[in-house]
Amino acid sequence: MISEKKFLELIQQLKQIRKENQYNEIDLNHLKSKLTQMTEEFIDPSKISIQEDSQKISITKSMKSIYQKWKQYGITIVDGELHELSCPQGFFIDEKNSLFITNYDRDYILEWKLNEKIENIIARDRAENIKDALCYPTDVILDKQNCSLIIADYGNRRVIRYFYKEQLDKQTIIDDIDCYGLAMDKYGFLYISDWKKNEVRRWRQGEQNGIVVAGGNGKDDRLNQLNRPTFIFVDDEQSIYISDSDNHRVMKWKKDAKEGVIVAGGNGSGDGLHQLSSPQGVAVDSCGHIYVVDYDNNRLMQWYEGDNEGTIIIGEDGGGNESHQLDEPRGLAFDLDGNIYIGDTGNDRIQKFERIC
């Protein structure tokens, strides 16, 4: 796949030519030739062009047209019957290809080593009435700075830290919160969606209360409001993407913004390409493509900010238990190769869809 780096290199060449103020038809044809080679991997090459006038030479590019496809028939990575997986919710993949899954109905975290096909059960207390036992965990992320897992312990209304390598006791780091989704930015700030208060809060390590960075203005569908937010994603610019589940939309809140913008859905609940129905897992790639798990429609959608419609990536044939189908999907993650993983809760499994280009 063409990377943005190649475009940046071409832009630098253009800037140098403009700086020297010396370019001719040979230069222009050379650049057009390079651009033609690059656009062969794109869906719509017409969206990329070199323009010339008496004052300047420039390149116009649209990263939304980058061509990516995935196999439509998934591979079951973790199976409910074989691995005691029941209603998997959120999960993540670390740099070593370990998959950490919230086993919602069984109250623990399952670590699955993708390369070795080895499972490891962590953060579980088998005994009854254990105060520190998990209760319906919904999401889990890795805190690299502290070498620990952070878990949304939904049933216990708290967020905990767990040093899984040392098998230490769980530590409650945030209490009295109706947590659902988790995210952490590159600066180490922790973001948590509170589905009852209809807000997303951001915490610095060691803080007690955090600050509201999205929602917090009551439950409704105005641009400064949320209605049962679930999973969240934070990009490198600290913009927050929120699956605003009961508003059937995905919202983007830029850092310090007073309100968000709708980047997917927002046209009522339905199965049209312009609609979502109870969105769940959400992720954004480096080119700005927004991937959202469309829970009630049993599909994965791809959107681009500003588009009126999305594209069905997986699940065109409706819900079911076949390898190309989903049933009440929730969690979403990508590995380093761009393969897609979906928590297929109705089928008690994790499905992998391989990228083919």
pLDDT, tens digit (0-9, with 9 covering 90-100), for 177-217: 999 999 999 999 999 999 999 999 999 987 778 999 999 99
Beta-carbon contacts of 97 under 8 Å, excluding residues fewer than 6 positions away, are 113, 114, 115, 335, 336
Cα–Cα distance, 298 to 305 (Å, whole number):
22
Range(s) of the domain holding residue 219: 75-353
Does the pTM surpass 0.75? The reply is yes
With respect to residue 64, please indicate whether it lies within any of the assigned structural domains: no
With respect to residue 27, please indicate whether it lies within any of the assigned structural domains: no
Phi, psi of 151 (to 5 degrees): -125, 130
- Which whole-number Å values give the CA distances from 68 to 1, 37, 338, in the listed order? 8, 17, 9
With respect to residue 268, please indicate whether it lies within any of the assigned structural domains: yes
Q: How many domains does the chain have?
A: 1
Q: What is the dihedral of CA 78, 81, 86, 91, to 10 degrees?
A: -10
With respect to residue 62, please indicate whether it lies within any of the assigned structural domains: no
At 155, which CATH number?
A: 2.120.10.30
With respect to residue 324, please indicate whether it lies within any of the assigned structural domains: yes
Report residue 46's pLDDT band, with 50, 70 and 90 as the boundaries: very low
Contact assessment for residue 222 and residue 181, using Cβ atoms and an 8 Å cutoff = no
Cα–Cα distance, 324 to 192 (Å, whole number):
32
Report residue 262's pLDDT band, with 50, 70 and 90 as the boundaries: very high
With respect to residue 48, please indicate whether it lies within any of the assigned structural domains: no
Rounded to the nearest 10 degrees, the angle between the axes of helix 25-39 and helix 4-20 is 170
With respect to residue 280, please indicate whether it lies within any of the assigned structural domains: yes
pLDDT, tens digit (0-9, with 9 covering 90-100), for 58-85: 444 455 555 589 999 999 999 998 889 9
pLDDT of residue 35: 64
Residue 8, burial from CB neighbour count under 10 angstroms (0-12, 13-18, 19+): exposed
Neighbours of 12 (CB within 10 A): 10
The arithmetic mean of pLDDT across residues 289-296, rounded, is: 98
- Has residue 50 got a pLDDT over 50? no
Cα–Cα distance, 259 to 252 (Å, whole number):
9
pLDDT, tens digit (0-9, with 9 covering 90-100), for 1-31: 445 556 556 666 666 665 565 556 666 666 6
With respect to residue 33, please indicate whether it lies within any of the assigned structural domains: no
- Average pLDDT score over the chain: 86
Residue 351, burial from CB neighbour count under 10 angstroms (0-12, 13-18, 19+): buried
